[in-house]
Structure formats: structure tokens, C-alpha cells
Amino acid sequence: MTNQHEPNGSPLTPIQQQRYDYLFPIYGELSSTIVQNVFGKGKTSWNSSLEKIDLVMEAKPKIKEYYNGLYETFDLYQVYTSGQIIGKVNEARREMGLIPYTEKIKIQSEADFNLVFFVRDHYDDVVVEGVPAKVFKGYQPVAKVLPA
């Protein structure tokens, strides 16, 4: 495979290129977008991303139906607040005949959202008392974990 480039034209780092090559058979050209959003620790780390790919791809058919329902509910690149995620996830659960979450609603709803999408945290730049700051706005899905 040829060395891929980020949207700004700079080449991927050697690690990003290896990850791109790993993901390409699954996601095709979308691999570049995914690789650029896999970094650090936690839910956006490489290991976490591989775990969620395995979980989603190995899911039972009924669960995959639910994941597809979530894909129809959320638009890529739109920013969603926790409240919007809670509402949309539980609406999709009801429509699929699954029990809506009744405990730890925010945690479970965001966990489902973060499982089925590669997600970027979105912040607004604000000035508070003359000091620049970032305020968390929501989550932005950039790609589906379950390939089309």
C-alpha cells in the first residue's frame, strides 16, 4: 500500500501507516479517518479501538440489528450532547424491542454510542475572565465501527 496522507497533506506517521494498513482490508479508504482519530489512552486508544471492532463484528445478529438502528439514528460528523445521546440510544432500544436503560442511563447510553462509532470529543473555545479555555460540547461520530 502506498503511504497515505492526512487531510492537510502531511503523510501519516509510521505508526499511523501501520494501523492504516491493518484497518484497510476492513474499512477501505475510511481507514485514514479512523487512524487519525485513534490516539492516546482510554476510549480513543488503539487497543480500545481494536477491542470495540472485535466486539461489534462478533456480535450476535439481534445485537447487530441494534447497532444498525443506532447508525440510522445518528449522523456522522454531527456533535451530540450527552442528553441527545441518552434520548436517541434509548429510543433505538425501544424500537428494537430492547429494554431502555433505567440505571446509570448516561454511562450505558454513552458506552453504546462509543462502542458503535469511532468518536471524537468536541470542545468549544471560549474566553473566561480573559483566559482562553476549552469547554466540552459533546461527542462527534467520525466513522462506524461496523463496516458498511
pLDDT digits (tens, 9 = 90+) for 122-137: 999 998 889 999 999 9
pLDDT (tens digit per residue) in 7-57 = 445 688 999 999 999 999 999 989 998 998 888 888 888 999 999 999 999
Statement: residue 4 has pLDDT above 70: no
Instruction: For residue 80, list its beta bridge partners.
Output: 139
The answer to whether residue 40 sits within a structural domain is: no
Residue 14 lies in a domain: no
Asked whether residue 3 is assigned to any structural domain, the reply reads no
Whether residue 46 lies inside any domain: the answer is no
The answer to whether residue 21 is domain-embedded is no
Instruction: Specify if 30 maps to a domain.
Output: no
Mean pLDDT of all residues belonging to the chain: 89
Kindly list the distances between the CA atom of residue 135 and the CA atoms of 44, 128, 140, 141, in Å, as whole numbers in the listed order: 19, 10, 14, 18
Q: What is the pLDDT of residues 67-88, one digit of tens each?
A: 999 999 999 999 999 999 999 9
Q: Is 139 helix (H, G, I), strand (E, B) or coil?
A: strand
Residue 104 lies in a domain: yes
Q: Which amino acid is at 55?
A: L
Q: Is pTM, for the whole model, over 0.75?
A: yes
11 in a structural domain: no
Q: What is the DSSP letter of 80?
A: B
Q: How many domains does the chain have?
A: 1
Cell of 3: 503511504
Q: Which domain holds residue 79?
A: 58-144
